[in-house]
């Protein structure tokens, strides 16, 4: 059963740790600091800490130090390899875990990685919650993400004041692994939608249709949605500033296709979308927004 939480929380100077200050993590950590929480942060590239330090966040030298200094620590990391390295590496999360400590991993990873990390944390007496999010840079900045949590229910409740500053909708999905599965399903759909959307814009352009007219027609009917409206306008402007990196979408599609293999579920469209994003990444668009797949699809003759 999915439980939706909408209640307003109080911060009461609760202490949180935050590991991983990329596009998403830095925005989320900033919201925690601005909400009045005492926040300790760590990032592999220390230069990303400065803005948060100026706001009042404390800096830590290692992930271990963050875990040791905070009752509950959040992480937002790029991929399964990064999540495993921060957890199992030297001076990592496991080196700081002690009984009762809470570890909330918001990274988008495969269910097996989430379960592996969760099992290792609980074996040390800690508590584990996975909490991947649906949303990109702007929702992260605005605190309007959709949070897909699963795992330790007591940690879910304890982390709620922080989660409420990050998201507009917070779901508890049961056992560890369900959050990761939900995130992969959602991003698989989003990636497939973006791929066919860009193919439609490219085809329309090649046959002489005005992009503004295509966008107007789509926005006026049953296919209207916020992603097409926002990204369509940016694509028309040639603006591919990164809100959600294309390389991360390709990673999520790859993981979703892998999940389909495990479940013996054919995913013809998702597999094709994965190849399209893989091609765009190979053409050098990996660090641009995932809408930059349009540049790979609509490349000049």
Clarify whether 183 is annotated catalytic. Answer: yes
Residues 6+ apart with CB under 8 A from 27: 137, 140, 141
Give the strand pairing for 3-5 and 102-105: unpaired
Q: Which two tokens stand for residue 101?
A: 């400590």
Query: Cα 164 to chain center, whole Å?
Result: 16
Q: Which two tokens stand for residue 19?
A: 């590991």
CA–CA separation, 291 vs 242, rounded Å?
Answer: 9
Query: CA-based Rg of the chain, rounded to a whole angstrom?
Result: 20
| Of 268, 269, 108, the residue nearest 192 (C-alpha) | 269
Write down the catalytic residue from 30, 58, 183, 295. Answer: 183
Question: What residues act catalytically?
Answer: 183
């Amino acid at each position: 059963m999915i439980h939706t939480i909408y209640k307003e929380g109080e911060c009461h100077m609760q202490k949180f740790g935050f590991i991983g200050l990329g596009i998403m993590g830095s925005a989320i950590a900033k919201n925690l600091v601005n909400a009045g929480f005492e926040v300790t942060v760590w990032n592999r590239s220390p230069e990303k800490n400065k803005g948060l330090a100026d706001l009042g966040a404390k800096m830590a030298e290692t992930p271990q130090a963050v875990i040791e200094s905070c009752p509950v620590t959040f992480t937002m990391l790029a991929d399964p390899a990064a999540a495993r390295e921060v957890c199992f590496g030297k001076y990592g999360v496991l080196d700081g875990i002690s009984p009762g400590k809470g570890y909330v991993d918001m990274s988008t990873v495969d269910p097996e990685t989430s379960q592996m990390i969760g099992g290792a944390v609980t074996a040390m007496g800690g508590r584990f919650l996975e909490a991947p999010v649906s949303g990109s840079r702007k929702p992260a900045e605005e605190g309007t993400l959709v949070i897909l949590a699963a795992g330790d229910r007591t940690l879910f409740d304890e982390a709620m004041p922080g989660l409420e500053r990050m998201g507009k909708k917070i779901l508890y999905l049961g056992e560890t692994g369900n959050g990761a599965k939900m995130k992969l399903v959602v991003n698989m759909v989003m990636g497939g939608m973006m791929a066919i959307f860009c193919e439609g814009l490219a085809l329309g352009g090649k046959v002489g249709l005005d992009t503004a007219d295509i966008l107007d027609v789509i926005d006026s009917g049953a296919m209207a949605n916020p992603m097409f409206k926002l990204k369509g306008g940016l694509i028309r402007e040639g603006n591919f500033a990164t809100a959600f990196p294309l390389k991360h979408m390709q990673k999520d599609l790859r993981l979703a296709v892998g999940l389909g293999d495990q479940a013996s579920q054919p995913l013809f469209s998702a597999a094709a979308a994965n190849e399209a994003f893989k091609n765009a990444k190979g053409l050098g668009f990996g660090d641009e927004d995932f809408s930059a797949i349009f540049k790979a699809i609509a490349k000049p003759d």
